[in-house]
Amino acid sequence: MKKMLGEERRLQLLAQLKKSKAPITGTDLAKFANVSRQVIVNDMTLLKARNEPIIATSQGYLYMHQEQLQQTVERTLPCIHSSEQTEDELMTIVDCGGTVKNVIVEHPIYGELTASIMVSNRHEVKQFIERVNATQANYLSALTGGIHLHVITAPSVEVLTLIEQALQKKGYLVTDQ
């Protein structure tokens, strides 16, 4: 298979992302374009710099179509819990009908650190947890004693309120003391 070059490759990658409803891994995109995964990372950076709505999730790259962006509401929730409670926290959110877009922590040196999560169902949460465990990575919240923010999206304000109530009931929300 012939290696795709520069701009032609980025246009082909963009077309692949646009037609896919699910995230596509960097490895799969690299195979498609017959290039290394690092070339894909660079291409995605260049496409994002052009304001293409591509997000890097824990499952791969995802193109956010305009209708997807318009059909959701979002809320940032302050959370606190142990690393062992992460799976339960994420499951609680997706079981109520939400998507966890990201996690944000405030680092004393680097300031705000944000990492994309993009989990919307139990299967994606399980994959995310398995990947963390397989790599023996620490959660970002480990840097801040368990305190972190999540940007949550949902189809309605009512669903966001349900999520917030469920997290509050489990003691996962930071509250005024």
Mean of all residue pLDDT scores within the chain: 89
| Residue-wise DSSP of 146-161 | TEEEEEEEESSHHHHH
Domains of the chain: 6-66 (1.10.10.10), 72-169 (3.30.1340.20)
For the cut 90, the answer to whether the pLDDT of residue 58 exceeds it is no
Whether this prediction's pTM lies above 0.85 is answered by: no
Nearest to 77 by CA among 4, 159, 8: 159
Between 112 and 1, whose confidence is greater?
A: 112
